[in-house]
Amino acid sequence: MRRSRGFTLVELVMVIVLLAIVATISVRFVALSTQGAIDVGSRQLRSFSAVVISEQISRALREALPGSVRVSSDGACIEWMPVLAASNYLDLPRGASPDSFEAVSLAGGL
């Protein structure tokens, strides 16, 4: 009996089908991994933006003049009041909620 070399058509088709299944699963896995990395990057960018905005608001509140910032009654909003002029303190305001302070006089009587 003669021994044949090579593959039959059925074996070749089965290998092609199995490789197609493995390739499909691999591509899907890579696509999901890539999408996950993109989502993580997007979340990190939003988080960094929130940190920067929070820091800017904190800095603005620390540097605000007394009486130029107020909070809404429900505590949800911060409002900066317009300041027409500013001066330097001669004596720092005392207490939790100061109602007056001594400052250098402004030119023009403001």
Residue pair 75/62 in contact by the 8 Å Cβ criterion: no
pTM, whole model, 2 decimals?
0.48
- 34 token code pair: 């890539």
- Residue 94, domain extent: 9-103
The answer to whether position 108 is within a domain reads no
Could you count the other beta carbons within 10 Å of the beta carbon of residue 53?
Answer: 10
Does the pLDDT at position 2 exceed 70?
no
The better pLDDT of the pair 65, 28 is held by 28
Q: Which residue has the tokens 């009041």?
A: 81
User: Does residue 15 lie within any of the structural domains?
Assistant: yes
Number of domains in the chain: 1
pLDDT of 41-88, one tens digit each?
A: 999 999 999 999 999 999 988 888 777 888 888 989 988 887 777 777
- Domain assignment present for residue 2? The answer is no
Model confidence at 3: pLDDT above 90? no
> Alpha-carbon distance 59 to 76, whole Å?
18
Whether residue 74 lies inside any domain: the answer is: yes
Would 1 be classed as within a structural domain? no
User: What's the DSSP call for residue 20?
Assistant: H
